[in-house]
Amino acid sequence: MDEPRRDSKWWGWGDPAISPKLDAEALATLRERVGELSPSPRAATLEGFELPSPEPLPPALIEAVGAAGIFTSREDRIRHATGRGYVDLARLRSGRLDAAPDAVVLPADAEAVRRVLEICAVEGVAVVPFGGGTSVVGGIEPLRGAHGRLISLDLARLRGVEVDGRSLTARLGAGLRGPEAEAALAERGVTLGHFPQSFEYATIGGFAATRSAGQASSGYGRFDALVSSVRLIAPAGELRTLETPHTAAGPALRELIVGSEGVFGIIPEVTVRVRPAPRVRRYEAWIAASFEAGAEIVRSLAQGPGLPDVIRVSDEEETRVALMLSGPRGLAGALFGGYLGLRRRRDGCLVVIGLEGEEESVARRRALSVRELRRGGAAYLGQAAGRSWEHGRFQGPYLRDTLMGMGALVETLETAHTWAKLGDLHAAVGAAIRDSLAAQGTPGLVSCHLSHAYPDGASLYFTFISRARHGEEAGQWRAVKRAASEAIVATGGTITHHHAVGRDHAPYMAAEVGREGIEVLRAVKRQLDPAGIMNPGKLIPPESTT
Amino acid sequence: MDEPRRDSKWWGWGDPAISPKLDAEALATLRERVGELSPSPRAATLEGFELPSPEPLPPALIEAVGAAGIFTSREDRIRHATGRGYVDLARLRSGRLDAAPDAVVLPADAEAVRRVLEICAVEGVAVVPFGGGTSVVGGIEPLRGAHGRLISLDLARLRGVEVDGRSLTARLGAGLRGPEAEAALAERGVTLGHFPQSFEYATIGGFAATRSAGQASSGYGRFDALVSSVRLIAPAGELRTLETPHTAAGPALRELIVGSEGVFGIIPEVTVRVRPAPRVRRYEAWIAASFEAGAEIVRSLAQGPGLPDVIRVSDEEETRVALMLSGPRGLAGALFGGYLGLRRRRDGCLVVIGLEGEEESVARRRALSVRELRRGGAAYLGQAAGRSWEHGRFQGPYLRDTLMGMGALVETLETAHTWAKLGDLHAAVGAAIRDSLAAQGTPGLVSCHLSHAYPDGASLYFTFISRARHGEEAGQWRAVKRAASEAIVATGGTITHHHAVGRDHAPYMAAEVGREGIEVLRAVKRQLDPAGIMNPGKLIPPESTT
């Protein structure tokens, strides 16, 4: 890993060779739902991209890292200037960014990270930690805070892998991408089982810093639940928690580092629990009478015999959208046979379950799930539809590029609440998004699924699509985001189940943890990062606003 | 709850009516192992007890709480002056304490707690939060820090119970004892399932503040894992986390409050996950060939099909001690028939498993456990022995009073590590305790069990008995405690799996979380408790020592 990675689209998501198309039927249905789209092909080229000129770095920093660790090309600066939220992509497609890092710095190891932070604290250089660059909440936005200069600290060279096969733990370098970590673990016969939609590009360090949750979180656990110990290199010093399965030695500092989103320091490595690689993987689809009925099935499993490794329930709208948009290679193609055979349930809700492990364990746990699915009135659709979902599980962001090129706004957001309040949350957030889009003259499709469940509640994940207001994408998005966020806060849900806080959710942290909670976060930051160089403007709202 | 509770022995553990005796065989074997004991009957009486005179409270405090909330009798001050560790009991039996609270204050509700802290911060009065008073690590020691006065803030009047039957959560007041909380939950058909040995007297607030782990933690979860949200009243303000099943909104402040041992503020209430009350409870005993073989069975369950609700493996010494000391009403009586029939395994290790829930779930999960037990070479001893363990599960501390009266030192300590290091930890800590006792001329019985297991490791719980050095109990204990703690630290285990830090483990916090970890805890404390009134001298080591 000599250079920063440049293997994904600089202006969009992922592998440039993957470019899903919508078929005629999907196009017609989309048009019927959101109105006529006016195509918005990407104008920007790398060569013509407008970017602020970089400030020169302190000589001490250049000396410490060496020229081979510092990159200042236009492409590298653009690639490190935004995450991969809708507004980020709209800006990239426009060919102009108002801010970018002055340089991309690739430290060779944890010791180099320590030196970089030390120098940046002395010199007053803001540091934005960079893993996969896949944040959808403005988590790597190059905000300088009180500082004149800013570097993106790309952890791609931190790639250690050490497996303890007896304790089933692995110490993993922050810079490993999901597939790289899984490949290294597979050589030892184990898996992390962490498959968020960003899996192909997101990194171990980012998973830890943002409390990522994978699609199989019910079975394997959210990333934060997989972390057994963690290390933090902060400007003021280093923190490392013990590699023990549990401790009662006071407040859990591990849980203060996990989720810290780079504002306290850098997470160079994480020790996580791993599992034997599954021998059998069985995915299948069911159809429930309604979203409520599907959610009740999930609740009965979570509060009873336990959840399968993957379980997700699409609401009525998402079930229809999944069929409409997924095209010939997607769910619809695989599903239509079975689905058309269930005409009387065409307003039902898709349920996907996935089970992984030893054959006997999969069979045993599937039987428990099937019993609750049948008790809840769901009908079996078969494995083809389930496999289809599994195969398409990382495809959403690619489809977003297609839709944006067609002139659509496409965004997602997520929240969670207790079972008692989940129905209210679903209704309130859905209405807020629909109303805000309609009020702007761009009525939208608003769909939702439940995909992470617990004995006491579950997450909701909303996707919405509408016509984009060309040239006003950010303002249009901001109005919807505000409406949805205020609905979440009013219902008492969390502002984020697994996308983290970043810049976009920071204004809602007071609702989440209270004013005193924010003061505690500030106190920890003052201790660990007294010069305030670490990822300014993220997670902790500015003093003036609370 | 008008007055502080006075329903347990003021000088020992629990119900004064319970006073287990050792039979002749047990006495003979004990003598053989630790030498001749010279009886040390309790001399102290309440009437003759020597206690420092109390300092007068600030009038503002008396006015705020009202005379009906303040107690200054000798008995109440003694009852709030120590926890229930060995040295605490030795001091109580001696009839003299060097320190005690100036008064015991019972606030009527959370608002009264807030007012008390406000006044104490202004007036410079140290505050020791008091739940059940069952700390075994000096957690409620009346250390004044920089302050001239000290109150014990007894939360017994905080007794709210609110159940959300749909989300299976319950908001519980800090002052509820284990049996009180379970009785209130039973009326709603649910249970918390948290049964530490201190269950009869310890409180909800204490469970949260110390990260308590119950004997059924494998099935129901440690207390900290059951907490879905928590509230903290600190001198500087109030913190409350959202009642959602999960959030990715930054560092988990819930995990900063849980385990805070009163040094940041008061936890007036906790929201916890509950479960349907079990219909079936099945406890049974097995005998494994060795401690290693028993631990391997637990590891294979934890890393494979999952653990039963209770699982514990006694090492060779504890298996023998359990048989020797438990007397006619204890394990030996119930077990001997079966055990004597297994003469060829007399050097084996006792394994107890417990399963609770619906009949079908108990049967299904038992089958998985039995398969691993048999694969691991264990032999079935029957349900009688398992039930006997279950019935005696809260009896240990009563037996300690008996043994102390006979002239014995009796103490326990616990730690945890990964599976890869557990054998080393067992050997190192056992040797450290044995060597320290022998070096003091009081050779001891040192036994251990594994009782909390995880996919990546397990806890070890040591019990040791020797002759007490009369009049030098504290020094004798301190030498053993230091030797054991240093062995734990040298092996990389945690200084405490579920007894918490208190005063006794504070010197080892630097080994646990590092110097920077301690600075972070101090920074949080400065924010929440700027006057430093909250539980001085606990959890966070004094500045001078790090």
Q: Give pLDDT tens digits for A17-45.
A: 999 988 887 888 788 889 999 999 898 89
With beta carbons less than 8 A apart as the criterion, state whether A138 and A165 touch.
no
Bridge partners for B266 per DSSP: B233
CA B479 to chain centre: 21
Residues of A in contact with B540 (CB under 8 A): 250
Quick check: B245 and A418 CB within 8 A? yes
Å from B220 to nearest chain A CA?
12
Which of A29-38, A50-59, A259-268, B513-522 has the lowest average pLDDT?
A29-38
Which residue in B120, B21, B62, B64 sits closest to B536, CA to CA?
B120
The answer to whether A259 contacts B252, with C-beta atoms less than 8 Å apart, is yes
pLDDT tier, B29 (very low <50, low <70, confident <90, very high otherwise): confident
Interchain CB distance below 8 Å, A237 and B516: yes
**Nearest-CA distance from B4 to chain A in Å?**
27
How do residues B31-80 score in pLDDT, each as one tens digit?
988 999 999 989 889 999 999 999 999 999 999 999 999 999 999 999 99
CATH T-level topology, domain B161-276: 3.30.465
Which pair of structure tokens corresponds to residue A221?
């656990």
Question: Helix (H, G, I), strand (E, B), or coil: what is residue A374?
Answer: helix
Do B220 and B258 meet the contact criterion of CB atoms below 8 Å apart? no
Whole-angstrom Cα distance, residue A510 to residue B227? 21
pLDDT in tens, A380-428: 999 988 888 888 888 889 999 999 999 999 999 999 999 999 999 999 9
Task: Check pLDDT > 80 for residue B510.
Answer: yes
Q: What is the mean pLDDT of residues A245-272?
A: 98
- What Rg do the C-alpha atoms of chain A give, in angstroms? 23
Nearest chain A Cα to B540, which residue? A250
CA A318 to chain B, closest CA, distance in angstroms equals: 23
CA dist A108 and B181 (Å) reads 54
- Res. A259: pLDDT tops 60: yes
CB contact under 8 A, A249 and B501: yes
Domain boundaries of chain B, sorted by first residue: 24-154, 161-276, 280-393, 506-545
- Whether the per-residue pLDDT at B364 is higher than 50: the answer is yes
pTM of the model: 0.96
Assigned architecture for domain B280-393: 3-Layer(aba) Sandwich (3.40)
**Range B379-390 average pLDDT:** 89
Per residue in B297-349, pLDDT tens?
A: 999 999 999 999 999 999 999 998 776 665 444 444 444 444 444 444 457 99
Torsion of CA A239, A242, A243, A249, to 10 degrees: -130
Report pLDDT for A339.
Answer: 46
Nearest CA to A176 out of A197, A194, A189, A151 is that of A194
pLDDT higher than threshold 90 for residue A118: yes
Which positions in chain A touch B249 (Cβ < 8 Å)?
Answer: 259, 494-496, 500-501, 505, 508-509, 512-513
Question: What chain A residue is nearest to B539 in terms of C-alpha separation?
Answer: A250
Tens digit of each residue's pLDDT (9 = 90 or more) over B151-181: 999 999 999 999 999 999 999 999 999 999 9
Give the pairing of strands A269-273 and A227-234: antiparallel
Rounded to 5 degrees, φ, ψ at B412 are -130, 155
Stretch B127-134: mean pLDDT: 98
Question: A521 CB contacts (<8 Å, ≥6 apart)?
Answer: A263, A509, A513, A539, A540, B250, B251, B253
Give B-chain residues touching A251 at CB under 8 angstroms: 255-260, 521, 524
Cβ contact, residue pair B539, A238, below 8 Å: no
> Which residues from chain A sit within 8 angstroms of residue B452, using beta carbons?
246
Residue A356: CA count within 13 A, CB half-sphere: 21
pLDDT for residue B119 is more than 60: yes
Interface with B, mutate which of A171, A364, A456, A491 (most B CBs under 10 A): A456
Question: What are the C-alpha distances in Å from A172 to residues A115, A159, A169, A386?
Answer: 21, 7, 10, 31
Query: What is the rounded CA–CA span in Å between residue A228 and residue A212?
Result: 15
Quote the CA–CA distance of A138 and A147 in Å, as a whole number.
19
Residue of chain B whose alpha carbon sits nearest to that of A272: B456
pLDDT of residue B326: 55
Cβ contact, residue pair B257, A251, below 8 Å: yes
Kindly tell me if the per-residue pLDDT of A130 is higher than 80. Answer: yes
Find, among A458, A404, A466, the residue nearest to A434 by Cα: A466
Q: Is B244–A303 a contact, with Cβ atoms under 8 angstroms apart?
A: no
pLDDT at B345: 47
Between B232 and B333, the more confident residue is B232
* Cβ–Cβ below 8 Å for B250 and A416: no
pLDDT for position A325: 60
Q: Which CATH number fits domain B24-154: 3.30.360.10, 3.30.43.10, 3.40.80.10, 3.30.230.10?
A: 3.30.43.10
Q: In chain A, what residues touch B526 (CB-CB under 8 Å)?
A: 523
The answer to whether residues A449 and A312 touch, using CB atoms and an 8 Å cutoff, is yes
Residue A544 pLDDT greater than 90, yes or no: no
Residue of A242, A266, A273 to mutate when probing chain B, most B C-beta within 10 A: A242
Chain A residue with CA closest to B303: the answer is A275
Q: What is the mean pLDDT of chain A?
A: 94
Residue from the list B224, B248, B517 with its beta carbon closest to the beta carbon of A211: B248
Structure tokens at B402: 């008996």
Q: Cβ–Cβ of B419/A243 closer than 8 Å?
A: no
CB contact under 8 A, B167 and A458: no
pLDDT at A337: 42
- A420 vs B391, more confident: A420
Tell me the average pLDDT across B385-410: 91
**Which of B539, B521, B537, B535 has its CA nearest to residue B262?**
B535
**Cα(B239)–Cα(B57) distance, rounded to whole angstroms?**
28
Chain B residue nearest residue A305, CA to CA: B361
CA A201 to chain B, closest CA, distance in angstroms equals 20
Dig out the tokens for B286 from the structure.
């097995």
Which residue of chain A comes nearest to B207, CA vs CA?
A: A248
Distance CA B118, CA B112 (A): 10
